[in-house]
Amino acid sequence: MNAAIAFIELAEDEEQVSLDIIDSFGKKIASVYQGSLQAGNHTLDLNSTVLAPGIYILSLKSQHSNQNKVFIKQ
């Protein structure tokens, strides 16, 4: 699988968010999105073709929360 999708749900009216890919050593590999999003559900396409096989963390930081999701690139 060469592509992945990130699902984001925001409760506040509008928030500044950053979505980053972190490797298993804690190093930021890529910045997927940085900017403002309105409240609601959002999907973002991730280009995982540039990633080597391994375990990664998708890190979402906003003004009101931080969320991390683990994913595996095969």
DSSP string, 6-74: EEEEEEEEEEEEEEEEEETTS-EEEEEEEEEEEEEEEEEEEEGGGSPSEEEEEEEEESS-EEEEEEEE-
Contact, 57 vs 21, CB < 8 A?
yes
Nearest to 46 by CA among 62, 29, 64: 29
Which portions of the chain are predicted below pLDDT 50? 1-2
Q: Give the CB-side neighbour count of residue 69, counting CA atoms within 13 A.
A: 11
Domains of the chain: 3-73 (2.60.40.3110)
pLDDT score of 29:
92
pLDDT score of 55:
94
